[in-house]
């Protein structure tokens, strides 16, 4: 296991989460994937165990966990079920704009119910024509008296339609480009807010991904995050801090696939001996384990840099997300190969793990975008 520096209380919490994941989450994973239904029981489990409270400050009813502890928790949950691990990751993602730019009053209003898991959060940045190019968004927000009127839509939003609290980005001044983007807290029951299509996905099938529609949606002025024009900066600051969580999800998926491959190789007999005795299999397992451990170290390092307040953590956050997600695809692919024909069948979880792993290369910034972030950082450092 990679070296980490969590305090004793957090270490005990992670150990407890690992046990919960193995005993309660793992048995549900296949059915969650098969049904494609949101796992309310898993949400309640994480809420009851205060796991959903980890990203929130103690003064607002949360646990106040370190970023390192949060990514370790996401990893342990994702090792058994990527959809369940995503519950914690998105609770942080959707609420982090409020944590970064929110007023005391905004935090006091939303954080206690998010920390208990009574409410879910979502992050509304992506649009049908605005994915990697976030500046191409067309959703607008026009101030009228004591309200902003939002019009437009968001696409591929995790927890879309389920979240009571949505951090939504819209143009308040289209003439200013990225400097004209602002951020708002949009509640599920605000007039003019509705849910469009629910996506049918390749992986993380129990996580609801939906379209959010704003048709003259009324948002109180006090729900503006920061000042007008702060939105793009806030979105980038949020993603810089949450990408290690996606890296942790990828590490968890990869570790689960490695566990499966190792166990299977010891049991599967061919030519009168377990296939684990074949050097070709041993080399595959060794490469898989090395990739997982390297990815874990990068994710933990990025998380610790965030905890330490390091100024240059953005590059390392991008590296961790990129490397870990690429490793998850490679490791799950190799796990299927080790299992052979059985790996291709839904009887074993290897194919589910590979399908789940793919999204980690795409959301919260594609790996091509991560490479741009890394390269630009390198070029400005020299």
Neighbours of 231 (CB within 10 A): 31
Q: For residue 112, give both structure tokens.
A: 């206690």
As a whole number of Å, the end-to-end CA separation of the chain is 34
Any residues with CB less than 8 A from the CB of 80 and at least 6 apart, and which? Answer: 21, 22, 25, 26, 29, 252, 256
Strand partners for 209: 158
User: Helix H segments across the chain?
Assistant: 8-20, 29-35, 40-48, 67-80, 82-101, 104-115, 231-267, 279-308, 313-339, 350-358, 367-381
Using only C-alpha atoms, the chain has a radius of gyration, in whole angstroms, of 21
Nearest Cα neighbor of 90 from 70, 76, 68, 62 is: 70
**What are the distances in angstroms from CA 345 to CA 80, 116, 255?**
18, 38, 20
> β-strands 165-171, 121-124: how paired?
parallel
Specify the DSSP element, H or E, that contains 346: none
Q: Which of 76, 211, 364, 381 is catalytic?
A: 364
Q: For residue 240, give both structure tokens.
A: 């810089």
How many residues does this entry show for the chain? 382
Nearest Cα neighbor of 115 from 63, 74, 165, 75 is: 63
Strand partners for 147: 144, 220
Specify the DSSP element, H or E, that contains 171: strand 165-171
Whether 364 is catalytic is yes
Burial of 236 (0-12, 13-18, 19+ CB in 10 A): middle
Tokens 């490791």 appear where?
A: 331
Could you list the active site residues? 364
């Amino acid at each position: 296991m990679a070296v980490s520096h969590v305090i004793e209380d957090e270490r005990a919490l992670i150990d407890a989460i690992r046990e919960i994941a193995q005993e309660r989450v793992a048995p549900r994973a296949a059915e969650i994937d098969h049904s494609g239904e949101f796992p309310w029981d898993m949400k309640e489990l994480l809420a009851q165990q205060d796991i959903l409270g980890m990203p929130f400050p103690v003064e607002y009813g949360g646990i106040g966990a370190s970023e390192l502890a949060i990514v370790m928790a996401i990893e342990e949950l994702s090792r058994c079920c990527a959809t369940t691990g995503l519950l914690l990751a998105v609770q942080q993602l959707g609420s982090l704009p409020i944590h970064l730019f929110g007023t005391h009053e905004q935090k006091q209003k939303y954080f206690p119910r998010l920390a208990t898991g009574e409410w879910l959060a979502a992050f509304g940045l992506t649009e049908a024509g605005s994915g990697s190019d976030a500046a191409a968004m067309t959703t607008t927000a026009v101030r009228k008296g004591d309200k902003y009127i939002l019009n437009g839509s968001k696409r591929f939003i995790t927890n879309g339609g389920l979240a009571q609290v949505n951090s939504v980005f819209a143009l308040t001044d289209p003439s200013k480009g990225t400097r004209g983007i602002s951020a708002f807290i949009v509640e599920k029951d605000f007039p003019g807010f509705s849910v469009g299509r629910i996506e049918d996905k390749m992986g993380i099938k129990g996580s609801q991904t939906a379209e959010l529609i704003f048709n003259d949606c009324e948002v109180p002025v006090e729900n503006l995050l920061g000042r007008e024009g702060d939105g793009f900066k806030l979105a980038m600051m949020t993603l810089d801090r949450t990408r290690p969580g996606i890296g942790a999800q990828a590490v968890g998926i990869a570790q689960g696939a490695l566990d499966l491959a190792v166990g299977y190789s010891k049991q599967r007999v061919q030519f009168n001996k377990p296939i684990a005795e074949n050097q070709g299999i041993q080399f595959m397992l060794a490469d898989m384990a090395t990739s997982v451990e390297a990815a874990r170290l990068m994710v933990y390092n990025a998380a610790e840099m965030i905890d330490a307040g390091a100024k240059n953590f953005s590059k390392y956050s991008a590296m961790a997300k990129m490397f870990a997600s690429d490793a998850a695809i490679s490791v799950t692919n190799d796990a299927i190969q080790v299992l052979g024909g059985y790996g291709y069948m839904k009887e074993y979880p290897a194919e589910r793990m590979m399908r789940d792993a793919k999204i980690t290369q795409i959301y919260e910034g594609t790996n091509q975008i991560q490479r741009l972030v890394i390269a630009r950082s390198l070029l400005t450092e020299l």
